[in-house]
Amino acid sequence: MNYKKVIKLICAISTAGCLAFSLAGCSAVSDITHAVTEVTSESTETSASVNSDNAELFTDRDLDPSYEASKAETITLSDSGSTSSSKSVEIDGSTIKITEGGIYELTGTLTDGQIIIEADDEKVQLVLCGVNITNTSSATIYVLDADKVFITLQEDTENYLATTGEFVQTDDNNVDAVIFSKDDIVLNGEGSLTITTKYGHGVVSKDDLKITSGTYTVNVSKDAFSGNDSLSIADGNFTVSAGDDAFHSDNITTVNGGNINILTCYEGLEGTAVVVNDGNIVINASDDGLNAGGGNDGSGAGNESFNPFSSTDNSSYYIQINGGNITINAEGDGVDANGSIYVTGGYTLINGPTMAANGALDYDGTGEITGGTFIAIGASGMAMNFSSADQGSILVSGVSIKEGDTITLTDSKGNVVLSLESQVSTDSILLSSEDINSSETYTLTIGSSSTEIKMDGNNLYGSGFSMGFGGTQGGFGGGKPEGDFGGGHRS
C-alpha cells in the first residue's frame, strides 16, 4: 500500500468544503488538460552530478550504432516466406529464431510474426532497415537468451512494431511488451521506430535498458519503456503516449540528454531513484511528473512504496536534477520523492497540481537546492519549500493565480529576475534561482496584483505543507508578504 497517497486522500476528503470555497474556479474532476510549455532557458552547468558522464553508463558500442555491413547476415521478412542464408537463423513460418551472436540486417514485412533471439549469452545486433512487424498476441521481438541485444535503427529508415491483441503467454515468462527481453537491451541508430499496443508495454528489459540515439514514437496502454535493473537515456527523440509510466525502472532511471515529449502518461519518469543530467523534457502526467519511490508498475516486479509509519530507511529513494530543461504539467505531484530531492542545476518548471491533496514539490526526506532555476506552481494545501538552499527560494501560498496570468519577480532596482505565464489556475508558487539572494527585497506580481517580499538574511522564504488547509508563510527568514494579495496567509 502507498501510505503517502492514503494520507493525501484523507487530507483531500477532510478539506473538501474548504477547497470548494477557495478553489471554486478549479475542477474537482481529474480531467485537466495542461498546455505543453516550451522551455527555452539554457541549462545551468552543474558542479556535481550522478552518472552525468555517458562513459559511466554506456560502452562505446552502446553509443555507436555503426557496424561492418560485410559481416552482417541478411534476413528478408515476408508473409509469403521469409528468407536468410545464415545457418544461425531458423525460419518456421512467421517465426524467425536467431541462435548465435552476430549482426543481422532485417528488412520487409511480417504479419503475426515474431523475431526470437536465443543466442546462448552472446551479443546480437539487430539492424532494422525498414521493417513492419506485427503480432496478434505476443512480442514482435522476444529475447530469451543473450548477453546483450542491440536494436539499431538504420539511418533514413522507418520501422514499425505492434502487438495488435491481448498478450497470451506461451512459456514461463510474462511476455507483456512489443519488445520483450530477459537480458540487456540497447536501442540506438539514426532511423525511426514506431511502437504501438493497446494491451501492454512498449519496451521491457528484465535487466538494463539503454537508449543512446534514434527517434521513437510510442503509443501503449502501460509503460512505454521499462528497465528492471536500470533505464538510461543518452540521447534520442521521443514522442510518448502511455497509459502508465512513460519511463520506468524498478531501480534507477537516468536521463543524460535527448528530446523527450510525453503527451500522456500516469507518471513521467519513475524509479527508486531518478536522475536528470541534461535533455529537453516535457511531461503531461495524470499523476506525478518525476517520481522516486519504486512501486509495482504493472509489469510484475517492483519495490514497495515507502511506508512513513515504519522505520524503513528511505535513503535509496531520491530525485536529482543536475541539468536540462524540464516542463511538468501534473495532476498529481510535480516532483515527488519518497526520500530526498536534490537540485544542482537546470531549469525546472512545474504547472500543477491544482487539487490540495497533491503538491508541486513533495519529498519525505531532504529537499535541497544548490543551483539552477526551479519554479513550481500548484495547490497550497500540500505546498512545500526546499528544506535547505544555497540560493534564494521563495514560497508564497494562498494567493490567486489564474491561467494566463503573467508572474514576474523583480528586485529592488526593478530588474526582472524571473518571468513566466501560468498554465493553471491555483494558489501557490515556489520560485528559486541563483539570481535570488538572501539580503534583497523583491516584488512578486501575479496578474494585476503585487506584493513585496523581504528575504531578511535567509535563503529560504515561506515554509509550506499544511496538510490541506492552505499554505503557511513566515519562518525560514520571512514573514507575510506585504502588498495586496489579500488573506489566506498564516505565520
Write out pLDDT tens, residues 95-130: 999 999 999 999 999 999 999 999 999 999 999 999
pTM reported for the whole predicted model: 0.85
d(CA 23, CA 20): 6
Hey, what amino acid is at 122? Answer: E
Higher pLDDT, 298 or 420: 420
Say which residues have a Cβ less than 8 Å from residue 352's Cβ, sequence separation at least 6: 32, 34, 328, 329, 330, 331, 334, 360, 377, 378, 423, 424, 426
Say which residues have a Cβ less than 8 Å from residue 414's Cβ, sequence separation at least 6: none
Q: What is the pLDDT of residue 315?
A: 75
Q: CB 265: neighbour CB atoms within 10 A?
A: 26
Stretch among 199-203, 282-286, 355-359, 468-472 having the lowest mean pLDDT: 468-472
Q: Per residue in 321-349, is it b (16+ CB within 10 Å) or e — as a string?
A: bbbbbbbbbbbbbbbbbbbbbbbbbbbbb
pLDDT band at 308 (very low <50, low <70, confident <90, very high): very low
Stretch among 11-20, 31-40, 70-79, 416-425 having the lowest mean pLDDT: 31-40
Average pLDDT over residues 41-47: 34
